Amino acid sequence: MATATQPIASTAPKLGWFSSLPSATRRTITGYLFIMPFVLGFLFWFLAPALVAVWLTFTDWNLIRAPRYVGFDNILRLGTDNLFWQSLKVTILYTLASVPLGLVLALLLALLINTKVRGIAFFRTIYYLPSIVPAVASAVLWAWIFNTEFGLLNAILRYFGIARIPWLQDPDYALWALIMMSLWGLGGSMIIYLAGLQGIPDVYYEAAEIDGAGRLRQFWNITLPLLSPVIFFNLIMSIIGTFQVFTAGFLITNGGPQNATLFYVLYLYRNAFEYLSMGYAAALAWVLFLIILVLTLLIFRYVGGMVHYEDNA
């Protein structure tokens, strides 16, 4: 590398003092100039807020009065705050249901749209489109679909002789309604699976075919292992995503009925911007960060070992 860049020193005299520096130093200066936007952004909008968050965690502040130091009060309050535990329960339940369902269904859809049948481009579009619909528009639409009196879902159920279900008014159904709604948007993971499937070379299947391996064996022994890094990627991204579900709970149910859809980040938002307890909201944010960190590490530790990485030799 050092020899490759040598000519610059001799052929670029117009750079003056800069060209008299050793090439490694020059490269370092140039490199930092290029990544300067990120470095500054990291300091201003990431590190500084993180420090502010540490400070906030130990204060009682409503944005108006002067902040007051309260020690560990905000953290201790978590233990006795029923709504905190409720929001955690709701979010974990939502994650446990929608992540596995979403991963499996998205994979099945990806397998389906990876076939070479007539009109496949049309099907791919149809499956993908819902995932890019704006969250607000999708919330408005699904609130209407779930409408007890006049909604589409109850109209379809009526066709099967099932009585009206108060999807958004019954605490036993509301969360399931939102899980159902989330599945409509699984096209994002589906497309990632599809890209993964298309990266598997045909020769593996051809070899398996010659060896007489059936469809099921081919799926278990070729598709699944070779797709496992993608499944792993989707798993982590979905979990990070489900812990941040906000718009549906905020616009469709507003956390209700009886806090059945009080998602964690909705509760965080309320504490910060409705109850104006910035300190407690900061404590909630740290807990969210820790949960995601620990979950990610656990998944890497226990699921990561099952991921098959191909030697790209």
Partner 1 sequence: MNSVGPISQPPAARLAHETGLGRFASHMRRGEFWWRVMIWALLLAGSVVMIMPFLWLLTSSFKPEMDIFLFPPKWIPDPWRPQNYSDALTYKPFDIYIKNTLIIVVLNMVAVIVTSSMSAYGFARIKFWGRDFWFVLVLSTMMVPYFVLMVPQFVIFSRLGWIDTFKPLVIPIFFGGGAFNIFLLRQFFRTLPEELADAARIDGCSEFRIYWNIMLPLAKPALAAVAIFTFLNGWNDFIGPLLYLNSPEKFTVAIGLATFRSVMRTRYDLLMAASAAMILPIVVLFFFAQRYFIQGVVLSGLKG
Residue list 14-53, contact with partner 1 (CB under 8 A): 14-15, 24, 27-28, 30-42, 44-46, 48-53
Interaction with partner 1 in 109-148: which residues (CB under 8 A)?
Answer: 109, 111-118, 120, 122-123, 125-130, 132-137, 139-145
| Interface with partner 1, residue 107, by CB under 8 A | yes
| 87-106 positions binding partner 1, by CB under 8 A | 105
Least distance to partner 1, CB of residue 79, Å = 20
> Contacts with partner 1 in 154-193 (CB under 8 A)?
154-155, 158-159, 180, 183-184, 191-192
Residues 6+ apart with CB under 8 A from 129: 187
Nearer to partner 1, 93 or 295 (CB): 295
Tell me, by CB under 8 A, how many residues bind partner 1: 125
Among positions 252-311, residues that touch partner 1 (CB under 8 A) are 265, 268-269, 272-273, 278, 281-282, 285-286, 288-289, 292, 296
Note whether 279 and 61 are within 8 A (CB).
yes
Contact (CB, 8 A) for 61 and 278: yes
Question: In angstroms, what CA-CA distances link 14 with 31, 40, 85?
Answer: 20, 29, 65
Please give the full DSSP string across 219-267, using - where no structure is assigned. IIIIIHHHHHHHHHHHHHHHHHHHTT--HHIIIIITT-STTTT--HHHH
> Site for partner 1 (CB under 8 A): which residue of 91, 99, 196, 260?
196
